Each structure stands twice: as C-alpha cells, then as structure tokens.
Chain A
Amino acid sequence: MAVQGEVVDKTAAMIAGPVAAADWLVIAPVLLPIVAGAVLLMIRHNIRWHALLALVVHAAMVGTNGLLLQRVLAEGPVSMTMGSWLPPFGISFTADALGAAFSLTASVVALVCCAYSVRDIDAAGRRYGFYPFLMLMMAGVSGAFLTGDMFNLYVWFEVFLISSFGLLILGSEKAQIDGATKYAILNLVGTTLFLIATGYLYGTFGTLNMADLATKAGQIGEAAPLMTLATLYLLAFSMKAAAFPLNFWLPASYHTPPVITGALFGGLLTKVGIYALLRSLVMIFAAERLVLAGVIGWVAVATMLIGALGALAQSDIRRIAGFLVISGVGIMLAGIALGSNGGLSGAIFYALHSMLALSALYLLGGLMRQRGGSFSLHSLSGLYGASPFLAALAFIISLAVAGLPPGSGLWPKVMLVRAALDVGAWQIAAAILLSGFLATIALGRVFILAFWRERAGDKATTAGVMSVSGCCALVVLVLAMLAMGVLPETFIRLSTTAASGLLDASAYVHAVFPVGSGS
C-alpha cells in the first residue's frame, strides 16, 4: 500500500476509466454457477432446494449467454480484464462469436440435462453432491469457452475435470470406479501435457494472453520452436477431445455413470477440447497449423472411421453413443485440418449440433432404459408398440446424429465435404461420407432391434414408465435440432462469423487492447 499522502500513478499498470456494467456479461456465465455451486455445497444436506436452485441458475446462464452472444454479434468481441490490471498483465476474459456460441449451446444442454436429472438423480445422489459438482463443472466449461488467457484456460480445464471425476463416480459401482480410474489418469496426463506446453509458451513469448499471443506468434517466426509448441498443444487437446490414437479412455468410462452424466460429458467435454484446438491452432499458431494440416487430416479420418466402426460392434446403447462421440470429434478435426473459412465454419456448426445431438442420444438411451428396462440391444425390444412417441423422438435423433435430413447434422457435413473437395482433400470427404453411412447403420440397427423387433416373451420387462421431465427435456433438444436442420441459415451465418473471427483475430485483439495492438 502507498504510504499516506504519497500519490502513485497507476495508469501505467491499471485500467483507469470506468467499465460498463454490460461488460460483466462476459463473467456472468462463469460467476453464476460458481456462486450457485458454493451455496449448494453449504446446503448439501438440505436436498429439497438443490434441483430448483440448479434449474434457476442454469436458466440464468442461458439468459446471460444469450445476451452475451447478441452483444458480440452486434458489437464484436467483448473483453474484461480482472482486477483492473492492464492486459496482458491481468487475466482477460474475452468472448468472441465462437466462445459465446459454444457457451450458449453448452448452457442450453446443461439446462436440459438438469431438467432431466430432476427425476433421475435420487436423494442419495443429491446428498453426495450431484448438483454442486454439476454447477462447478459448468463453471469450468463456461470459463474455458470465455477466458482469454492460456494459463487460465488450463485452470478451467482442471476445474471441470475435478468436478467431472466427482460426477463420474456418483453411485460408486464397480464399473464406475474402473472407468473413472482410466478416465482420471489419462486426462491427468493430458492436462499435464497442456501445462508443459503452457510453460514453454510463457518461456517463449513472455505472455499468456491469447490476444497478445495471436499478435506475437506471427512476428517471432523462426526464432523459437513454435512447431514444438503447436504439436504439444495438438497432442494435449486431442487427448481431451478423444482423437484417434488417444481415444481409448472415452469408451472405457462414458457409459459407466448415470446416463445424465454421460449426456453432459458426451455433449460438452470433448467439445471443450475441440474449442481449445480451434483457439490455439487456428488463432494463435496459424502458420504451424498449416504444416500440421496433413497429420490432423489423417488423424481426423482415422478418428471418424474408428468411432463409427466401434459403434457398429457395440450392443450397449451408451457405448454406441460413446463411439459416436469419437466419430463426431473426427468430423470436427477435419474442419481444423482444412483450415479454410468453409471448413472451420463447418466444424463449428458441427460442434454446436453435436453438443445437442449426442446429449440427446444419451438421454434417449436413458428413456429407453426407463421404458424397456435395459441398455442392451440383446434384451430391448418392442418399444415401437410400447411408445410410438419415444420411437418418433428416436427416429429424429438417429437422423440428426447420422447427418441425414431433416436433422441438424446434415448442413455442417455438407459444408465440410464441400470445403474438402474445394482443396482436393478427397480422403476427408470420403471419410465424412463413409462414417455417416456407418453411423446410419449402427443407429438404424438400434432402431430395428429395440423398436421394431417384436416384443420378447416376458412382458414384465417392458412395464417401465418414462419420466415426464425426461420426455420434456428430450423434446426440447429434438426441437432445437430440428430448428438447426430446417432453418440452418442463422447457424451457418453464426459459424461463418465465428470462423472469420478466428482466421482474422484483429477484432479479438482490438477488444483486449483498445489502443493500438500488442502490449
């Protein structure tokens, strides 16, 4: 502190001017779940209020994220630097169209999952802390989407990872502990790689602010081992996104927890990896991504095909969904490999679609279990007769996940195939089409066996009743997917804006450093 009477000039280090209250929209989607998670931790044993508070806060998150996205689209990226320190010294939160769109979709999925969980999570699960973990995980996910600082991104990764461990072992069954061990160790190695890369990054650039990095990466050129950095980031984030050689933790763990947790993980967590890849490789290490494009392309092809083939070999609906998550990651990686505006906007649109569609697939599995009494294709049967409503939902979800009209998966795949053919990357275009075909077979078989097959002898297995909250949640997701599939123009425009914001980061940099550029 300054000695009394002495006046210290702070303008060289601190932001002097007032900050508009509207700028707080950047931090609100992170702050709300943290505060709610803290309150829920305090009233952990008073479980009556958990679901209600979680629903209200998720709705508030959707609201603030929506306002944020609206503001970003109208006025360009919004930035706020914590503690009034001038960037790059303070930690910046910067929302551009990409971050705000991802954050909004994530909060919509979380709200829907939260509605589903009202019936699905019993008193024991609530007392164990399902809702506090959920809130803290959402804080981590939103923080990762909105932060503008590389080390802060690492911290948010750890926040949602630690909360996801808690969610993963909720219930403590044998299979869960088995799956969680693999998930935890492999993800810990992945984030440690992220930390190594970030340490080198600071050693090379002397800054961790993404906007600052984006301006400096082009200037440093050959003077520093940027290729090593870009490769390390590719490795670390591919591990988080479950890309081909590093994908084995995902099918080992995502089917073990309650289906609601699987829906959240499958919908959101791998997309954080994709988001981080977009942010680091496309915005910061653009030149290095060009060199790595061939590798990323083949990794994408392998991921798509391995995921789709894996889905064909499974008989548990949740494990089929797990492999389809991997297949989708390959499709988004293909966009990153292409790197053109068309490819990137296809990848971004696909990510938005995939958050909705894969959560819906997991929730559908949950409802099929409620109605038919099992997750296994060996014993599920006759659901079409039992519930035509569920069959209709399942039909639309299957179309959307496989990328057929009128589902939401069609348009991003069209954009990606066109972008791939534009640059002559026939293997990527072929893999996208082939993986879509294989996914159609896998999901078509689920439909044939679980819905059309005549009911097996004992009728007792199909006596279950579906929860109303679960049905409402799924209907909301299906309507959102249909909207994406039937009226794609809005979403195409949104993803194109997001992609051009990544390719030309000047607006992003300008939001963080209003006067001139660089520090």
Chain B
Amino acid sequence: MEAVFAILVGLFFAAGIYLMLSRHIIRILLGVVLFGNAVNLLIFTNGRIMREVPPIIAEGLDVPATAVANPLPQALILTAIVISFSFFAFLLVLAYRAYQEIGTDDTDGMRVAEPADDGLPPMGY
C-alpha cells in the first residue's frame, strides 16, 4: 500500500511542479495546490497506512500491542491543511486583484514593481 502511495505522491509532485513552471498565475496557483496536497499525502504515508486499528494503548501496556497508524502525522497534516487553505484563499484573491489591476495573469507582463526602463542611477552631478 505504501508503495502505491509513494508513486501517487511522486505523480502529485511532478504535476504540481510542472504547473508551477508555467508563466500564468492561475496555473501556478493550481500547481501550488497540488504541491501542497502532495506534501500532505507524503506526511500521511510517513505515518504508516492502516485501517480499523485505533491508535489506543491498552491498559497496563506502554506501547500498542499491534502495529497501528501513527496519529501524529495526521495531526500535522490537519494543521498544514488549515494553513495551506487560508494561504490559498489569500493567493486566489490576490491573483484576482492582480489580474484586475495589472490586466494580465502572465508573469512576464507583471513588471510594475520592477519596471524594465528604470535606468541606472546618475553617474555624476
């Protein structure tokens, strides 16, 4: 099962990075989402995948009697999902605003902050 997930994570990463290499903001954002989900799946796989065995330690024992999935990575993912969700909501609004204000979603056309014709500083008085 872990091997299948590892391949899946690899596919997610590949697709995410491919999209992020695009010049268009919206594709970059979709790439960022895939990238974030790839990381979440990766951490999830890291914590062992197992069904129907609750990670509860029986009385009188210090460690679980059978192999169980580690719940901590899932807690980490939950935090990461919340954070990446709010990030994505912000980025979406920002990209939309950028499209409205600058009139393009092509990153090559986004030269407002760093204008190409800025010129060198004066060389003397």
Contacts and interface: CB of A to CB of B under 8 A. Distances in A.
Contact of A196 (B39, B47, B111, B119): B39
B32 A178 contact: no
B102 A315 contact: no
B11 to A, nearest CB: 16
Residue from A175, A195, A316 having most chain B Cβ neighbours under 10 A: A195
A165 B113 contact: no
Contacts of A64: none
Nearest to A158: B83
Interface in B1-48: 20, 25, 28-29, 32, 35-36, 39, 42-43, 46-47
A182 B29 CA distance: 12
A165 B73 contact: no
Contacts of A378: 119, 121-122
Contacts of B63: none
Interface in A276-315: 313-315
Contacts of B122: 315, 377-378, 449
Contacts of B72: 202
A184 B73 contact: no
If over half of A's interface residues share one DSSP class (helix, strand or loop), that class is named, otherwise mixed; here it is: helix
B66 interface: no
Nearest to B93: A169
Given A155-B79, A256-B113, A315-B118, A178 B98 contact: yes
A407 interface: no
Given A181-B95, A252-B113, A256-B113, A199 B43 contact: yes
B121 A453 contact: no
A155 B111 CA distance: 32
B101 A188 contact: no
B76 interface: yes
B97 to A, nearest CB: 5
A70 interface: no
A10 interface: no
B120 interface: yes
A255 interface: yes
Contacts of A199: 39, 42-43, 46, 73, 76
A445 B114 CA distance: 21
B113 A179 contact: yes
Interface residues of B, number: 41
A202 B39 CA distance: 13
A185 B28 contact: yes
Nearest to B95: A181
B112 to A, nearest CB: 4
A198 B72 CA distance: 12
Nearest to B87: A188
A181 B36 contact: no
Contacts of B113: 175-176, 178-179, 182, 252-253, 255-256
B13 to A, nearest CB: 9
B39 A178 contact: no
B91 A178 contact: no
B80 to A, nearest CB: 6
Interface string A121-136: 0000000000000000
B67 interface: no
A175 B112 CA distance: 5
Interface in A366-422: 377-378
A178 B76 CA distance: 32
Contacts of B87: 158, 162, 184, 188
A313 B120 contact: yes
Interface in B71-89: 72-73, 76, 79-80, 83-84, 86-87
B49 interface: no
B75 to A, nearest CB: 9
B56 to A, nearest CB: 14
A181 B25 contact: yes
A464 B63 CA distance: 71
A178 B112 contact: yes
B17 to A, nearest CB: 10
Given A155-B83, A189-B32, A251-B114, A314 B121 contact: yes
Contact of A181 (B46, B73, B94): B94
Contact of B110 (A181, A200, A255): A181
Residue from B76, B102, B110, B121 having most chain A Cβ neighbours under 10 A: B121
Nearest to A155: B79
A419 B86 CA distance: 44
A362 interface: no
Contact of B120 (A179, A198, A315): A315
Contacts of B86: 162
Contacts of A165: 90, 94
A203 interface: yes
Nearest to B73: A202
Interface of A: 151, 155, 158, 162, 165, 169, 172, 174-182, 184-185, 188-189, 192, 195-196, 198-200, 202-203, 251-253, 255-256, 313-316, 377-378, 445, 449, 453-454
Given A181-B25, A199-B76, 14 more contacts: A165-B94, A175-B112, A177-B97, A177-B98, A178-B98, A178-B112, A180-B94, A181-B94, A185-B32, A188-B32, A192-B32, A251-B114, A313-B121, A449-B122
12 contacts: A165-B90, A176-B113, A177-B97, A177-B98, A177-B112, A181-B110, A185-B29, A195-B80, A202-B76, A203-B46, A252-B114, A449-B122
Closest 8 CB pairs of A and B: A199-B43, A315-B121, A203-B46, A179-B113, A178-B112, A178-B113, A175-B113, A377-B121
